[in-house]
Amino acid sequence: MYPNLYYAFKDLFGLEWPKLKMINSFGFFVAWAFLAAAWILTLELKRKQRAGLLHAEEVKIIVGKPASMGELLMNFLLGFLLGFKIIGLFVSSSPLASDPQQFIFSAEGNWPIGILLGLALAGWRWIERNKQKLARPEERIIRIWPHDRVGDFVIYAALFGFLGAKIFHNLENWDEFVANPVEALLSFSGLTFYGGLICATLALWWYARKHKIGFRHLADAAAPGLMLAYAIGRIGCQVAGDGDWGILNSAYITTPQSTIQLAGSDSFQATLQQNSNYYLSALPVDSLADVQHKSVKAPGWLPKWMVAYHYPHNVINEGVPIEGCTQPQYCSQLPIPVFPTPFYETVAGLLLFAFLWSIRKKMKVPATLFAVYMVVNGIERFFIEKIRVNTTYSILGFHPTQAELISAGLILGGIALYFWLTRKAAAAK
Protein backbone atom coordinates (compact mmCIF):
# COMPACT_ATOMS: atom_id res chain seq x y z
CA MET A 1 0.00 0.00 0.00
CA TYR A 2 1.57 3.23 -1.18
CA PRO A 3 -0.24 6.50 -0.32
CA ASN A 4 2.42 8.39 -2.29
CA LEU A 5 5.44 7.64 -4.47
CA TYR A 6 7.89 8.02 -1.59
CA TYR A 7 6.72 4.79 0.00
CA ALA A 8 6.65 3.00 -3.36
CA PHE A 9 10.26 3.89 -4.21
CA LYS A 10 11.39 3.10 -0.68
CA ASP A 11 9.78 -0.34 -0.67
CA LEU A 12 10.48 -1.35 -4.27
CA PHE A 13 13.91 0.17 -4.88
CA GLY A 14 15.27 1.03 -1.44
CA LEU A 15 15.43 4.73 -2.37
CA GLU A 16 14.36 7.43 0.08
CA TRP A 17 13.48 10.67 -1.71
CA PRO A 18 11.38 12.72 0.72
CA LYS A 19 10.10 15.05 -2.01
CA LEU A 20 8.28 12.10 -3.59
CA LYS A 21 5.83 12.34 -0.69
CA MET A 22 4.32 15.23 -2.61
CA ILE A 23 3.15 12.98 -5.44
CA ASN A 24 -0.03 11.22 -4.41
CA SER A 25 -0.29 7.67 -5.81
CA PHE A 26 -3.94 8.08 -6.76
CA GLY A 27 -3.25 11.36 -8.56
CA PHE A 28 -0.26 9.79 -10.32
CA PHE A 29 -2.37 7.02 -11.83
CA VAL A 30 -5.22 9.40 -12.65
CA ALA A 31 -2.74 11.51 -14.64
CA TRP A 32 -1.62 8.41 -16.53
CA ALA A 33 -5.28 7.51 -17.10
CA PHE A 34 -5.91 10.86 -18.81
CA LEU A 35 -2.74 10.50 -20.91
CA ALA A 36 -3.75 7.01 -22.02
CA ALA A 37 -7.26 8.18 -22.90
CA ALA A 38 -5.85 11.13 -24.86
CA TRP A 39 -3.51 8.82 -26.80
CA ILE A 40 -6.29 6.38 -27.71
CA LEU A 41 -8.64 9.24 -28.61
CA THR A 42 -6.00 10.78 -30.92
CA LEU A 43 -5.47 7.47 -32.71
CA GLU A 44 -9.19 6.97 -33.24
CA LEU A 45 -9.86 10.54 -34.39
CA LYS A 46 -7.06 10.29 -36.95
CA ARG A 47 -8.46 6.96 -38.18
CA LYS A 48 -11.91 8.49 -38.62
CA GLN A 49 -10.42 11.54 -40.35
CA ARG A 50 -8.61 9.29 -42.84
CA ALA A 51 -11.91 7.51 -43.47
CA GLY A 52 -13.59 10.84 -44.24
CA LEU A 53 -15.91 10.65 -41.23
CA LEU A 54 -14.57 13.77 -39.52
CA HIS A 55 -13.55 17.04 -41.11
CA ALA A 56 -11.49 20.11 -40.31
CA GLU A 57 -12.97 23.37 -39.08
CA GLU A 58 -11.91 26.56 -40.82
CA VAL A 59 -11.05 29.23 -38.28
CA LYS A 60 -10.22 32.89 -38.87
CA ILE A 61 -7.21 34.21 -36.96
CA ILE A 62 -5.31 37.48 -36.87
CA VAL A 63 -1.54 37.12 -37.32
CA GLY A 64 1.13 39.72 -36.83
CA LYS A 65 -0.35 41.38 -33.75
CA PRO A 66 1.88 42.03 -30.73
CA ALA A 67 1.05 40.38 -27.43
CA SER A 68 -1.84 42.06 -25.70
CA MET A 69 -1.75 43.15 -22.08
CA GLY A 70 -4.34 40.46 -21.29
CA GLU A 71 -2.12 37.71 -22.76
CA LEU A 72 0.92 38.95 -20.84
CA LEU A 73 -1.07 39.13 -17.63
CA MET A 74 -2.48 35.60 -18.06
CA ASN A 75 0.98 34.19 -18.74
CA PHE A 76 2.35 35.97 -15.70
CA LEU A 77 -0.43 34.62 -13.47
CA LEU A 78 0.06 31.08 -14.78
CA GLY A 79 3.81 31.23 -14.21
CA PHE A 80 3.33 32.78 -10.78
CA LEU A 81 0.95 30.03 -9.67
CA LEU A 82 3.25 27.30 -10.97
CA GLY A 83 6.25 28.80 -9.25
CA PHE A 84 4.52 29.93 -6.06
CA LYS A 85 2.68 26.66 -5.41
CA ILE A 86 4.02 23.74 -7.49
CA ILE A 87 7.76 24.50 -7.47
CA GLY A 88 7.34 26.09 -4.05
CA LEU A 89 5.97 22.78 -2.79
CA PHE A 90 9.15 20.95 -3.81
CA VAL A 91 11.57 23.49 -2.31
CA SER A 92 9.58 24.32 0.83
CA SER A 93 10.77 23.29 4.28
CA SER A 94 7.37 24.00 5.81
CA PRO A 95 5.66 21.19 7.76
CA LEU A 96 2.70 21.63 5.42
CA ALA A 97 4.86 20.47 2.47
CA SER A 98 4.46 16.86 3.61
CA ASP A 99 0.77 17.15 2.74
CA PRO A 100 0.52 18.51 -0.85
CA GLN A 101 -3.23 18.98 -0.65
CA GLN A 102 -2.99 21.04 2.53
CA PHE A 103 -0.07 23.05 1.12
CA ILE A 104 -1.87 23.84 -2.16
CA PHE A 105 -4.91 25.22 -0.37
CA SER A 106 -2.88 27.15 2.20
CA ALA A 107 -1.41 30.66 1.90
CA GLU A 108 2.14 29.29 1.83
CA GLY A 109 4.34 29.29 -1.26
CA ASN A 110 7.56 30.66 -2.71
CA TRP A 111 7.14 34.32 -3.71
CA PRO A 112 10.52 34.83 -5.47
CA ILE A 113 10.16 31.73 -7.64
CA GLY A 114 6.55 32.62 -8.41
CA ILE A 115 7.39 36.17 -9.51
CA LEU A 116 10.43 35.07 -11.53
CA LEU A 117 8.55 32.30 -13.34
CA GLY A 118 5.63 34.63 -13.98
CA LEU A 119 7.93 37.25 -15.53
CA ALA A 120 9.69 34.53 -17.55
CA LEU A 121 6.46 33.22 -19.09
CA ALA A 122 5.18 36.74 -19.79
CA GLY A 123 8.52 37.64 -21.38
CA TRP A 124 8.49 34.46 -23.48
CA ARG A 125 5.01 35.30 -24.76
CA TRP A 126 6.11 38.87 -25.62
CA ILE A 127 9.23 37.64 -27.49
CA GLU A 128 7.31 35.00 -29.44
CA ARG A 129 4.61 37.43 -30.51
CA ASN A 130 7.21 40.08 -31.39
CA LYS A 131 8.94 37.63 -33.75
CA GLN A 132 5.66 37.25 -35.68
CA LYS A 133 4.82 40.96 -35.60
CA LEU A 134 3.82 42.48 -38.93
CA ALA A 135 3.59 46.13 -39.94
CA ARG A 136 -0.04 45.45 -40.78
CA PRO A 137 -1.69 42.45 -39.07
CA GLU A 138 -3.38 40.02 -41.48
CA GLU A 139 -6.52 37.89 -41.26
CA ARG A 140 -5.90 34.26 -42.23
CA ILE A 141 -7.97 31.11 -42.35
CA ILE A 142 -6.51 27.95 -40.84
CA ARG A 143 -7.87 24.40 -40.70
CA ILE A 144 -8.12 22.71 -37.31
CA TRP A 145 -8.79 18.96 -37.27
CA PRO A 146 -10.60 17.22 -34.40
CA HIS A 147 -7.38 15.46 -33.31
CA ASP A 148 -5.79 18.91 -32.90
CA ARG A 149 -8.32 19.57 -30.14
CA VAL A 150 -7.51 16.50 -28.02
CA GLY A 151 -5.81 18.75 -25.46
CA ASP A 152 -9.04 20.75 -25.11
CA PHE A 153 -11.06 17.53 -24.84
CA VAL A 154 -8.85 16.34 -21.99
CA ILE A 155 -9.04 19.67 -20.13
CA TYR A 156 -12.84 19.83 -20.41
CA ALA A 157 -13.17 16.18 -19.41
CA ALA A 158 -10.85 16.66 -16.42
CA LEU A 159 -12.52 19.83 -15.12
CA PHE A 160 -16.14 18.79 -15.57
CA GLY A 161 -15.38 15.17 -14.74
CA PHE A 162 -13.88 16.17 -11.39
CA LEU A 163 -16.80 18.53 -10.74
CA GLY A 164 -19.38 15.86 -11.56
CA ALA A 165 -17.56 13.20 -9.56
CA LYS A 166 -17.55 15.52 -6.54
CA ILE A 167 -21.21 16.47 -6.87
CA PHE A 168 -22.44 12.88 -7.17
CA HIS A 169 -20.21 11.66 -4.34
CA ASN A 170 -21.43 14.35 -1.97
CA LEU A 171 -25.04 13.68 -2.92
CA GLU A 172 -24.50 10.01 -2.13
CA ASN A 173 -22.76 10.85 1.16
CA TRP A 174 -24.83 13.85 2.18
CA ASP A 175 -24.27 13.47 5.93
CA GLU A 176 -20.48 13.57 5.51
CA PHE A 177 -20.78 16.61 3.24
CA VAL A 178 -22.97 18.52 5.69
CA ALA A 179 -20.59 17.68 8.55
CA ASN A 180 -17.57 19.19 6.76
CA PRO A 181 -18.49 20.78 3.40
CA VAL A 182 -15.17 22.58 2.83
CA GLU A 183 -13.07 19.43 3.21
CA ALA A 184 -15.57 17.41 1.16
CA LEU A 185 -15.36 19.88 -1.74
CA LEU A 186 -11.59 20.44 -1.72
CA SER A 187 -10.44 16.89 -1.02
CA PHE A 188 -9.03 14.93 -3.96
CA SER A 189 -10.56 11.73 -2.56
CA GLY A 190 -14.26 10.99 -2.57
CA LEU A 191 -15.07 10.81 -6.28
CA THR A 192 -17.92 9.02 -8.04
CA PHE A 193 -16.98 7.84 -11.53
CA TYR A 194 -20.48 7.98 -12.99
CA GLY A 195 -20.92 11.58 -11.90
CA GLY A 196 -17.71 12.46 -13.68
CA LEU A 197 -18.75 10.51 -16.79
CA ILE A 198 -22.13 12.25 -17.04
CA CYS A 199 -20.84 15.80 -16.53
CA ALA A 200 -17.80 15.30 -18.77
CA THR A 201 -20.01 13.88 -21.56
CA LEU A 202 -22.33 16.91 -21.41
CA ALA A 203 -19.36 19.29 -21.51
CA LEU A 204 -17.80 17.51 -24.51
CA TRP A 205 -21.15 17.44 -26.31
CA TRP A 206 -21.35 21.23 -25.96
CA TYR A 207 -17.73 21.65 -27.10
CA ALA A 208 -18.18 19.34 -30.10
CA ARG A 209 -21.34 21.17 -31.16
CA LYS A 210 -19.59 24.54 -30.82
CA HIS A 211 -16.75 23.43 -33.14
CA LYS A 212 -18.92 21.44 -35.59
CA ILE A 213 -17.43 18.06 -34.66
CA GLY A 214 -19.69 15.06 -35.19
CA PHE A 215 -20.46 14.06 -31.61
CA ARG A 216 -21.47 10.52 -32.52
CA HIS A 217 -18.08 9.87 -34.10
CA LEU A 218 -16.37 11.63 -31.19
CA ALA A 219 -18.25 9.39 -28.72
CA ASP A 220 -17.18 6.26 -30.61
CA ALA A 221 -13.57 7.47 -30.70
CA ALA A 222 -13.64 8.13 -26.95
CA ALA A 223 -15.25 4.84 -25.86
CA PRO A 224 -12.15 2.56 -25.81
CA GLY A 225 -10.04 5.29 -24.18
CA LEU A 226 -12.65 5.83 -21.47
CA MET A 227 -12.56 2.14 -20.62
CA LEU A 228 -8.76 2.09 -20.50
CA ALA A 229 -8.65 5.25 -18.36
CA TYR A 230 -11.12 3.70 -15.93
CA ALA A 231 -8.93 0.62 -15.54
CA ILE A 232 -5.77 2.68 -14.93
CA GLY A 233 -7.54 4.98 -12.50
CA ARG A 234 -8.68 1.97 -10.46
CA ILE A 235 -5.02 0.97 -10.07
CA GLY A 236 -4.60 4.25 -8.20
CA CYS A 237 -7.57 3.39 -5.95
CA GLN A 238 -6.06 0.00 -5.15
CA VAL A 239 -2.51 1.25 -4.59
CA ALA A 240 -3.46 4.28 -2.48
CA GLY A 241 -6.37 2.71 -0.60
CA ASP A 242 -8.80 5.60 -1.03
CA GLY A 243 -11.76 3.88 0.62
CA ASP A 244 -13.26 2.58 -2.60
CA TRP A 245 -13.22 -1.04 -1.54
CA GLY A 246 -15.63 -3.91 -1.01
CA ILE A 247 -17.53 -5.47 1.87
CA LEU A 248 -15.89 -7.58 4.56
CA ASN A 249 -14.55 -11.04 3.73
CA SER A 250 -15.44 -12.87 6.92
CA ALA A 251 -13.19 -15.82 6.04
CA TYR A 252 -10.18 -13.81 7.29
CA ILE A 253 -9.11 -11.36 9.98
CA THR A 254 -6.18 -8.95 10.17
CA THR A 255 -3.50 -9.39 12.83
CA PRO A 256 -1.98 -6.36 14.62
CA GLN A 257 1.28 -7.16 12.79
CA SER A 258 -0.49 -6.47 9.47
CA THR A 259 -0.87 -10.03 8.22
CA ILE A 260 -3.97 -11.89 7.06
CA GLN A 261 -5.04 -15.15 8.70
CA LEU A 262 -7.98 -17.50 8.32
CA ALA A 263 -10.84 -16.97 10.73
CA GLY A 264 -13.76 -19.05 11.86
CA SER A 265 -17.18 -17.53 12.45
CA ASP A 266 -16.39 -17.08 16.15
CA SER A 267 -13.09 -15.24 15.59
CA PHE A 268 -14.71 -13.08 12.90
CA GLN A 269 -17.54 -12.05 15.22
CA ALA A 270 -15.06 -11.46 18.05
CA THR A 271 -12.97 -9.16 15.84
CA LEU A 272 -16.10 -7.38 14.65
CA GLN A 273 -17.23 -6.82 18.24
CA GLN A 274 -13.73 -5.73 19.29
CA ASN A 275 -13.77 -3.02 16.61
CA SER A 276 -17.47 -2.15 16.91
CA ASN A 277 -16.84 1.57 17.36
CA TYR A 278 -14.90 1.74 14.11
CA TYR A 279 -17.43 -0.21 12.02
CA LEU A 280 -20.47 1.57 13.41
CA SER A 281 -18.90 4.93 12.53
CA ALA A 282 -17.30 3.97 9.21
CA LEU A 283 -20.13 1.96 7.64
CA PRO A 284 -23.71 3.07 6.83
CA VAL A 285 -25.21 0.71 9.45
CA ASP A 286 -27.13 1.08 12.71
CA SER A 287 -25.90 -2.14 14.30
CA LEU A 288 -23.24 -4.78 13.77
CA ALA A 289 -25.93 -7.15 12.55
CA ASP A 290 -26.31 -4.89 9.47
CA VAL A 291 -22.63 -5.13 8.48
CA GLN A 292 -22.40 -6.78 5.05
CA HIS A 293 -19.96 -9.62 4.64
CA LYS A 294 -19.28 -12.75 2.62
CA SER A 295 -17.00 -15.66 3.43
CA VAL A 296 -14.73 -16.52 0.50
CA LYS A 297 -11.49 -18.48 0.94
CA ALA A 298 -8.79 -18.10 -1.68
CA PRO A 299 -7.75 -21.34 -3.41
CA GLY A 300 -4.16 -22.43 -2.84
CA TRP A 301 -2.96 -21.10 -6.19
CA LEU A 302 -4.39 -17.61 -5.63
CA PRO A 303 -2.82 -14.98 -3.33
CA LYS A 304 -5.06 -14.20 -0.35
CA TRP A 305 -4.99 -10.45 -1.07
CA MET A 306 -7.03 -11.03 -4.25
CA VAL A 307 -10.04 -11.99 -2.16
CA ALA A 308 -9.22 -10.36 1.17
CA TYR A 309 -7.10 -7.24 1.56
CA HIS A 310 -6.64 -5.09 4.65
CA TYR A 311 -5.30 -1.96 2.91
CA PRO A 312 -2.37 -1.22 5.25
CA HIS A 313 -1.04 2.35 5.22
CA ASN A 314 -4.11 3.52 3.30
CA VAL A 315 -4.18 7.16 2.25
CA ILE A 316 -7.35 8.03 4.22
CA ASN A 317 -6.01 6.58 7.50
CA GLU A 318 -9.00 4.28 7.78
CA GLY A 319 -9.17 1.45 10.28
CA VAL A 320 -7.04 0.67 13.34
CA PRO A 321 -3.35 1.33 14.12
CA ILE A 322 -0.68 -1.01 12.74
CA GLU A 323 1.48 -2.40 15.52
CA GLY A 324 5.02 -1.01 15.40
CA CYS A 325 4.31 1.58 12.68
CA THR A 326 6.38 4.71 13.32
CA GLN A 327 5.37 6.79 10.30
CA PRO A 328 3.92 10.22 11.11
CA GLN A 329 0.81 9.23 9.15
CA TYR A 330 -0.59 6.34 7.09
CA CYS A 331 -0.30 3.86 9.96
CA SER A 332 -3.80 2.39 9.72
CA GLN A 333 -5.22 -0.89 8.40
CA LEU A 334 -8.63 -2.53 8.24
CA PRO A 335 -9.18 -4.94 11.17
CA ILE A 336 -11.09 -7.30 8.89
CA PRO A 337 -9.99 -7.65 5.25
CA VAL A 338 -12.35 -6.62 2.44
CA PHE A 339 -12.81 -7.60 -1.17
CA PRO A 340 -10.35 -5.48 -3.25
CA THR A 341 -12.94 -4.22 -5.73
CA PRO A 342 -10.58 -1.70 -7.38
CA PHE A 343 -8.36 -4.62 -8.44
CA TYR A 344 -11.37 -6.45 -9.89
CA GLU A 345 -12.42 -3.34 -11.81
CA THR A 346 -8.90 -2.88 -13.16
CA VAL A 347 -8.91 -6.41 -14.58
CA ALA A 348 -12.45 -6.02 -15.93
CA GLY A 349 -11.63 -2.61 -17.41
CA LEU A 350 -8.58 -3.92 -19.28
CA LEU A 351 -10.56 -6.86 -20.68
CA LEU A 352 -13.42 -4.59 -21.76
CA PHE A 353 -10.96 -2.15 -23.35
CA ALA A 354 -9.52 -5.04 -25.40
CA PHE A 355 -13.06 -6.03 -26.40
CA LEU A 356 -14.06 -2.51 -27.49
CA TRP A 357 -10.77 -2.06 -29.34
CA SER A 358 -11.28 -5.33 -31.23
CA ILE A 359 -14.78 -4.43 -32.49
CA ARG A 360 -14.33 -0.71 -33.14
CA LYS A 361 -13.80 -1.09 -36.90
CA LYS A 362 -16.79 -3.41 -37.24
CA MET A 363 -19.24 -0.86 -35.81
CA LYS A 364 -20.32 1.01 -38.94
CA VAL A 365 -23.21 3.00 -37.51
CA PRO A 366 -21.98 6.11 -35.63
CA ALA A 367 -22.37 6.02 -31.82
CA THR A 368 -23.11 2.28 -31.67
CA LEU A 369 -19.66 1.60 -30.22
CA PHE A 370 -20.40 4.13 -27.49
CA ALA A 371 -23.73 2.38 -26.90
CA VAL A 372 -21.86 -0.91 -26.42
CA TYR A 373 -19.49 0.88 -24.04
CA MET A 374 -22.48 2.08 -22.00
CA VAL A 375 -23.81 -1.47 -21.73
CA VAL A 376 -20.57 -3.23 -20.77
CA ASN A 377 -19.54 -0.44 -18.39
CA GLY A 378 -22.94 -0.59 -16.73
CA ILE A 379 -22.87 -4.39 -16.42
CA GLU A 380 -19.39 -4.33 -14.87
CA ARG A 381 -20.30 -1.71 -12.30
CA PHE A 382 -23.74 -3.18 -11.51
CA PHE A 383 -22.28 -6.51 -10.48
CA ILE A 384 -19.27 -5.07 -8.64
CA GLU A 385 -21.73 -3.08 -6.51
CA LYS A 386 -22.92 -6.39 -5.00
CA ILE A 387 -19.69 -6.57 -3.00
CA ARG A 388 -18.99 -2.84 -2.51
CA VAL A 389 -19.76 -0.66 0.49
CA ASN A 390 -22.19 2.06 -0.48
CA THR A 391 -25.21 3.91 0.80
CA THR A 392 -28.48 2.31 -0.34
CA TYR A 393 -31.86 3.85 -1.10
CA SER A 394 -35.31 2.44 -0.41
CA ILE A 395 -37.36 2.41 -3.63
CA LEU A 396 -40.55 0.31 -3.87
CA GLY A 397 -39.15 -2.40 -1.63
CA PHE A 398 -35.76 -2.46 -3.37
CA HIS A 399 -32.52 -1.13 -1.86
CA PRO A 400 -30.21 -0.10 -4.72
CA THR A 401 -27.12 2.07 -4.46
CA GLN A 402 -26.67 5.24 -6.49
CA ALA A 403 -24.18 3.41 -8.75
CA GLU A 404 -26.63 0.54 -9.30
CA LEU A 405 -29.33 2.96 -10.41
CA ILE A 406 -26.99 4.78 -12.79
CA SER A 407 -25.44 1.57 -14.15
CA ALA A 408 -28.89 0.10 -14.75
CA GLY A 409 -29.76 3.29 -16.61
CA LEU A 410 -26.59 2.98 -18.67
CA ILE A 411 -27.39 -0.62 -19.58
CA LEU A 412 -30.96 0.12 -20.61
CA GLY A 413 -29.97 3.39 -22.29
CA GLY A 414 -27.13 1.74 -24.18
CA ILE A 415 -29.37 -1.07 -25.45
CA ALA A 416 -32.08 1.40 -26.50
CA LEU A 417 -29.52 3.67 -28.18
CA TYR A 418 -27.95 0.77 -30.10
CA PHE A 419 -31.23 -0.52 -31.53
CA TRP A 420 -32.52 3.00 -32.29
CA LEU A 421 -29.35 3.87 -34.20
CA THR A 422 -29.19 0.60 -36.14
CA ARG A 423 -32.87 0.75 -37.09
CA LYS A 424 -32.55 4.39 -38.12
CA ALA A 425 -29.53 3.55 -40.26
CA ALA A 426 -31.33 0.59 -41.86
CA ALA A 427 -34.38 2.72 -42.65
CA ALA A 428 -32.18 5.36 -44.29
CA LYS A 429 -30.74 2.87 -46.82
pLDDT tens digits for range 39-91: 999 999 999 999 999 999 999 988 899 999 999 999 999 999 999 988 888 78
Distance of alpha carbon 313 from alpha carbon 193, whole angstroms? 24
pLDDT at 255: 93
- Residues 100-137: b if buried by 16+ CB within 10 A, e if exposed: bbebbeeebbbeebbeebbbebbeebeeebeeeeeeee
pLDDT at 146: 97
% helix, strand, coil for the chain, step of 5: 60, 10, 30
**Closest CA relative to residue 90, chosen from 115, 76, 110, 118:** 110
* Mean pLDDT, the chain, integer: 90
Query: Which helix (DSSP H) or strand (DSSP E) does residue 139 occupy?
Result: strand 138-144
Tell me which residues of the chain have a pLDDT lower than 70: 96-101, 105, 172-194
**What is the pTM (predicted TM-score) of this model?**
0.86
pLDDT at 50: 96
